[in-house]
Structure 1
Amino acid sequence: MVEALGRMIKSLHRDGRWLGVNVATGVEHSTHLQFSDDTILFGASSRREARIINACLNDYCKALGQKINWNKSEVFFINMMSNMQVVLSRILNLRVANFPGKFLGTPLFSGHNKTCYWTHLIEKCKARLENWKGEWLSSIGKLTMIKSVLSAILVFSMACMKLPVAMEDELITIMKIFLWNGSNDKGNFPLISWGKISQPKNARGASIRQISIMNLAMGAKLVWEICRGGNQK
């Protein structure tokens, strides 16, 4: 049923009524992103576009009998005067959210990519480690946890944006401590360098994916999908 909203938005975009935002030169304007039960909408900073977005959401609810959870909905503004923000938020009937915020666990921010915006990932990894009581796991068990859980926490965020180098270093430090000392912060001295552990098994490593390479690959995939979508227009 969420796909129906996407089709309505595309129809309005083709008719030139819903402009959306330009994310890159030579690429079709973006109007929305959809997930299983969440949708993020992009619009131009005008009263006309705000009214079109509001009317589209109302028509969708009337046609399919669904309701939007306005308590969980927010509107973000980028480089806009505060008085205009008030006007558009009233048209949309949404509260104004401030940067940095989060959408599906991924930080939303305006301007420079700062390390402080990613601290929630550090806290999430530490919280997961505290529940595992890693000192009772074997080395193989710790490696499995690192590869299947800790690395997975980063995937969604890395698929959207580049992680700061400082954040990558801190996450690697957390993985090192867990591998050699369990959930304790001190204890055994690392017997093998992290560079060797990250190597594939055929190179006598443990096949732990390198965060920087994962981030680069996911960024390249995102650029490829954007360019391919623009060429198919």
Structure 2
Amino acid sequence: MFLLCTERFSALIQNGMKRGAFHEVRVVPNRMPISHLFFADDSVLFCDATLNDAQGVRDILNIYAEGLGQEINMAKSSIYYGSKVKKWDKKIIERTLNIQSKVGFGKYLGLQADFGHSKKPIFKDVRKRIETKMVGWAEQFLNQARKEVLIKAMAMVMPNHAMGCFKLPIRVCKDIEKSIRSYWWREMSTVRGFNGPLGIAY
């Protein structure tokens, strides 16, 4: 049932574009334009930051809500603008859609959903979570065998989700490796350290 509703929503968007109710966006020059993205029960619509496009999106949302028999919760929705959109246009669009704007898309599935040319600030959170875990482990005075289990089973696995979505910069991978090695060698200056690669692929 959910998939059928999603297919109908997609069809409404396609029909709206065909009749000029709103326009898809070309994020990168000379590349295919994009109008919407669906993942599970989340939807992202792309259009020009104009009153006409806002009205077109509003009409499609209303048609979809009426067909579904439920109102869309605008309080849980948000608008994200491009950097060149004027403040006055933002007010008109928000008033038309009855949706508030916010800075950036925020986090999605634990990762920052928007970023610029540098991805390092986004993955800083991945490194911070690993370091926070290791600080907690350090306070437990674990022996080397338990340390090795935690490193292999948790610390080295935690970046996997981010790496499945994005290609981590080499610098970020090296920072994570450095943090893990620092935890392993802590108070072990006279003991042979962890051998072998940490398994973080670049």
Aligned to 2:97: 92
1:131-146 equivalences in 2 (<5 Å)? 135=142, 137=146, 139-146=148-155
Name the residue aligned to 1:124: 129
Q: 1:152 to 1:69 in 2, by over 3 A?
A: farther
Offset, 1:26: 4.1
Equivalent of 2:88, from 83, 98, 103? 83
TM-score (normalizing by structure 2): 0.74
TM-score by length of 1: 0.66
Structure whose CA Rg is larger: 2
Structure showing the higher helix proportion among its residues: 1
Structure 2 gaps of 5+ residues are none
Aligned to 1:202: none
> 2: CA distance between counterparts of 1:151 and 1:101?
19
Q: Structure 1 vs Structure 2: percent identity of aligned residues?
A: 21
Counterpart residue identity of residue 84, structure 1 = D
The residue number in structure 1 matching 2:35 is: 31
Q: 1:1-233 maps to which residues of 2 (within 5 A)?
A: 1=2, 2-78=6-82, 79-99=84-104, 101-109=106-114, 111-113=116-118, 115-129=120-134, 135=142, 137=146, 139-147=148-156, 149-155=157-163, 157-158=165-166, 163-178=168-183, 180=184, 186-188=186-188, 191=193, 196-198=196-198, 208-210=199-201, 212=202
SS in 1 for 2:21: coil
Q: How far does residue 164 in structure 1 lie from its aligned partner after superposition?
A: 4.8
Matched-pair contact (CA < 8 Å) for 1:19–1:31: yes
Is the 2:111–2:122 Cα contact (8 Å) retained in structure 1?
no
Secondary structure of the structure 2 residue equivalent to 1:197: coil
- Contact 1:21 1:29 survives alignment (8 Å): yes
Query: How far apart in 2 are the matches of 1:110 and 1:87?
Result: 26
Deviation of 1:111 (Å): 4.6
Aligned length: 191
